[in-house]
Amino acid sequence: MKPFRVVGVIGKRREPNIELLREVCATLRRLGCDVLIEDNAAFGSSELATRVDRDQLAQRCELIVVVGGDGTLLDAGRTLAATHKPLLGINQGRLGFMVDVPPESMHEGLAAVIGGDYVTEERLLLSASVERGGSRDGGTRLAVNDVVIRNQATIRMIEFETWLDREFISNHRADGMIIASPTGSTAYALSGGGPLLHPSLSAIALVPICPHTLSDRPIVVDGQRPIRIVIRGVDRAQAMVTFDGQTSETLEPGDVVEVSRAAHPLSLIHPVGYSYFRILRDKLRWGSGPSSAHERV
């Protein structure tokens, strides 16, 4: 694989992240890289990295290293996916489904990746818009994990319809609906009883949140066909739509939320030996107990 020479770093400038940010930048410099760091993550010294904004980071870097948890990578993924710049995650969060390089193996992992010893992966992104009165003034939003329609700060249900392209699926009375990408199938959708989707699939999961009818179950649909959620009633509750749980918009009866596969994927880099199923075993504690022969291979 192609080695990297100009590398960007994104992270949060707060303890204990700051020390790991310094270590990452110092390691990259020792490996012969030109290092750029996002200005809101930069620390005092300019000897290890050049401070730039995120737009410059995307323009100038060949690889972007994200230091933090899955939330930090979600934010970077939404804003940088259109640039096709690959992301490598150094885990300093809690779960780390996406930021899969642990701090204790950061030096070895970076050395391998910078030298060209890595694997690439492309993951489906969600593109969403809200139509109100026939117009979409709010533009298009991206989500790495999920688009969630839910009631807002009340315990009352909302009523809505689901459509796949122009094909009617069902009416719903529920607390909401999770529309999850394969990446997001291990997040909110999983806690709502949704299925795990392998990240290579072109598929989207629809997971009702606490539906009034117990037969209203999660379903997996073709990722190539747009999904439309039509808000019919909010039962004296306000409805809202959130994108990766980080941005939101209030919904009204008659609004239509359309979710589809984004035109461009999220590009990720992993060290050689990365296994999605190993991540699941570790994070979800599958097969807890004595290690199997497969694990020792």
Question: What positions carry a catalytic annotation?
Answer: 70
Q: Is 274 annotated in some ligand binding site? A: no
By CB atoms closer than 10 A (0-12, 13-18, 19+), residue 236 is exposed
Q: Is 238 annotated in some ligand binding site? A: no
Q: In the chain, what is the straight-line distance between the N-terminal and C-terminal CA atoms, in Å?
A: 25
Q: Which residues pair with 242 in a beta bridge?
A: 148, 248
Q: Is 128 annotated in some ligand binding site? A: no
Closest of 240, 244, 221 to residue 231, by C-alpha: 240
By CB atoms closer than 10 A (0-12, 13-18, 19+), residue 263 is exposed
* Angle CA 78–193–148, to nearest 5: 35
Q: Is 188 annotated in some ligand binding site? A: yes
Record the tokens describing residue 114, joined without a space: 């910078």
Q: Is 76 annotated in some ligand binding site? A: no
Closest of 27, 39, 29, 24 to residue 6, by C-alpha: 29
Closest of 287, 283, 270, 259 to residue 123, by C-alpha: 270
Q: Is 146 annotated in some ligand binding site? A: yes
Handedness of CA 281, 283, 287, 292 (dihedral sign): positive
Q: Is cis: bond before 16, omega within 30 of 0?
A: yes
Q: Is 187 annotated in some ligand binding site? A: yes
Q: Is 71 annotated in some ligand binding site? A: yes
Distance from C-alpha of 256 to C-alpha of 269, rounded to nearest angstrom: 35
Q: Is 282 annotated in some ligand binding site? A: no
Q: Is 70 annotated in some ligand binding site? A: yes
Q: Is 190 annotated in some ligand binding site? A: yes
Q: Which residues are annotated as a binding site for NAD(+)?
A: 70-71, 145-146, 156, 173, 175, 186-191, 246
Q: Which residues are annotated as a binding site?
A: 70-71, 145-146, 156, 173, 175, 186-191, 246
